[in-house]
Amino acid sequence: MGNFKVFGECEIPSFIPKSLLCDFSVVGMQQDSKYAINYTLSSLKQHKRIQRLILIFPHSLPTSCLTEIQKFHCKIYFFLQKDSKSFCDCKSLSQFGLVIAL
């Protein structure tokens, strides 16, 4: 497994595919997802390489930042609890990346 950056709990849940976790991945867990988003965007603006942003049960998501991150061709993965988001919320997030409801 790679040396990726984690915001939130240090232990990555087992349902996250190991293939997503590499040296150029950033992981945000729950309320710390906003820090992962800000770190990713600021790193990309500094021309640092980040391939994947993985958000696990994220809380508030600034869509303007997600749009900016997309412009850098960074893949975004959302892992959501089925009961926490409505179908419309999942559909709106799908414009930014892959949404996986658990």
Q: Domain residues of the chain, as ranges?
A: 21-101
Query: Position 99: which residue type?
Result: V
**Strand 25-29 vs strand 52-56: parallel, antiparallel, or unpaired?**
parallel
What is this structure's pTM?
A: 0.91
The pLDDT, as a whole number, for residue 2 is 66
Q: Which two tokens stand for residue 96?
A: 């930014």
Most confident of 9-13, 40-44, 56-60, 82-86: 40-44
Mean pLDDT of 7-23: 90
Mean pLDDT of 37-59: 96
**Strand 52-56 vs strand 5-7: parallel, antiparallel, or unpaired?**
unpaired
